[in-house]
Structure 1
Amino acid sequence: MGVLQGFKDVPRVVWLLAAGVFVNAVVSCTFVFVFVYLTGPRGLGTAQAGLIVGIGGVGLVAGNFTGGWYGDRFGHRKVLLTASALGGAVLVTLPALSTGLLTLALPLAQYAAGVVRAAQSALVAVTVPEGSRRQAFAVTRCLSNGGFTIGTPLGALVATALSYDWLFVAEGIGTLFFALWTARAVPAAAAPLTRRPPGARGAPTPAAPDGGLGRGGLWRELRARPAVLALLGAIVVADVVYRQHYTTFPVFLAEHGLDTRAYGYLIAVNGGVILLLEIPAALALRKRSPLHIVGTGLVLVGGGYAMLALGAGLAPAIAMMLLLTLGEILYKTTATAYVADESPAHMVGRFQSLYAGVSVSGVVLAAPLGGALYAVAPDLLWPLCAVLGAGAGAAVLVAGARVARRPARPAHETGSPTAAVAG
Structure 2
Amino acid sequence: MPRAVWLLSPGVFVNALSSFTFVFVFVYLTGPRGLSVAEAGLITGIGGIGLIAGNFTGGGYGDRFGHRRVLLVASVLAGGALTFLPALPTAALYFALPPAQYALGAIRSANSALVAVIVPEGARRQAFAVVRCVSNGGFTLGPPLGALIATGLSYDWLFVADGVGTLAFALWTARVVPARGAANTPAAAPDGGLGRGVWGELRARPAVLVLLGAILVVDVIYRQQYSTFPVYLADHGLDTGVYGLVIALNGAVILLLELPAAVALRARPPLRVVGVGLLLVGAGYGALLLGTGLATAVLMMVLLSLGEILYKTPATAYVADQAPAHAIGLFQSLYAGVSASGVVLGGPLGGALYSAAPGLLWPLCAALAAGAGGAVLWTSARPGRRVRPGSSEPTVPGTAPDLGEDPVRHDSRPAHETGSRPRAVAG
TM-score under structure 2 normalisation? 0.90
Q: Is the 8 A contact 1:343 1:414 kept in 2?
A: no
Q: Is the 8 A contact 2:319 2:332 kept in 1?
A: yes
TM-score under structure 1 normalisation? 0.91
Check 1:397–1:377 CA distance in 2 against 1; reply closer, same or farther (3 A cut): same
The separation in 2 between residues aligned to 1:365 and 1:232, in whole angstroms, is 16
**Residues 216-235 of structure 1 aligned to structure 2 (within 5 Å):** 216-235=196-215
Partner of 1:138: 129
Q: Is the 8 A contact 1:343 1:415 kept in 2?
A: no
The worse-fitting range, judged by mean Cα deviation, of 249-258 and 391-400 is 249-258
The separation in 2 between residues aligned to 1:153 and 1:92, in whole angstroms, is 20
Check 1:378–1:223 CA distance in 2 against 1; reply closer, same or farther (3 A cut): same
Q: For the aligned residues, what is the CA RMSD? A: 1.9
Q: Does 1:247 align with 2:219?
A: no
The separation in 2 between residues aligned to 1:142 and 1:115, in whole angstroms, is 20
Partner of 2:81: 90
The separation in 2 between residues aligned to 1:282 and 1:263, in whole angstroms, is 28
Q: Is the 8 A contact 1:213 1:347 kept in 2?
A: no
The separation in 2 between residues aligned to 1:98 and 1:415, in whole angstroms, is 55
- The equivalent position to 2:366 in structure 1, one of 370, 380, 386, is 386
Q: Does 1:332 align with 2:303?
A: no
**Residues 22-61 of structure 1 aligned to structure 2 (within 5 Å):** 22-61=13-52
The worse-fitting range, judged by mean Cα deviation, of 405-414 and 176-185 is 405-414
Check 1:156–1:319 CA distance in 2 against 1; reply closer, same or farther (3 A cut): same
The worse-fitting range, judged by mean Cα deviation, of 229-238 and 160-169 is 160-169
The worse-fitting range, judged by mean Cα deviation, of 149-158 and 390-399 is 149-158
Partner of 1:406: 384
Check 1:408–1:106 CA distance in 2 against 1; reply closer, same or farther (3 A cut): closer
Partner of 2:155: 164
**CA deviation profile, 1:42-71 (whole Å, cap 9, x unmatched):** 110000100111111100100000001100
Aligned length: 398
Q: Is the 8 A contact 2:322 2:386 kept in 1?
A: no
Q: Could you tell me which runs of 5 or more consecutive residues in structure 1 were left unpaired when the two chains were aligned.
A: 1-9, 193-205
Q: What is the identity, as a one-letter code, of the residue corresponding to 2:86?
A: P
The worse-fitting range, judged by mean Cα deviation, of 405-414 and 129-138 is 405-414
The separation in 2 between residues aligned to 1:407 and 1:348, in whole angstroms, is 18
- The equivalent position to 2:375 in structure 1, one of 391, 395, 414, is 395
Shift of 1:412: 5.4
Shift of 1:104: 1.4
The separation in 1 between residues aligned to 2:179 and 2:385, in whole angstroms, is 38
**CA deviation profile, 1:386-413 (whole Å, cap 9, x unmatched):** 00111110010011111xx236657954
Shift of 1:230: 0.2
Shift of 1:215: 2.4
**CA deviation profile, 1:18-55 (whole Å, cap 9, x unmatched):** 11000111110110111111111111000010011111
Partner of 1:202: none
**CA deviation profile, 1:321-360 (whole Å, cap 9, x unmatched):** 0000000000000000000000000000100000000000
Partner of 1:283: 263
Check 1:95–1:407 CA distance in 2 against 1; reply closer, same or farther (3 A cut): closer
**Residues 365-380 of structure 1 aligned to structure 2 (within 5 Å):** 365-380=345-360
Partner of 1:347: 327
Q: Does 1:150 align with 2:141?
A: yes
- The equivalent position to 2:63 in structure 1, one of 68, 72, 79, is 72
Partner of 1:20: 11
Shift of 1:102: 1.1
Shift of 1:207: 3.4
Shift of 1:317: 0.5
Partner of 2:180: 189
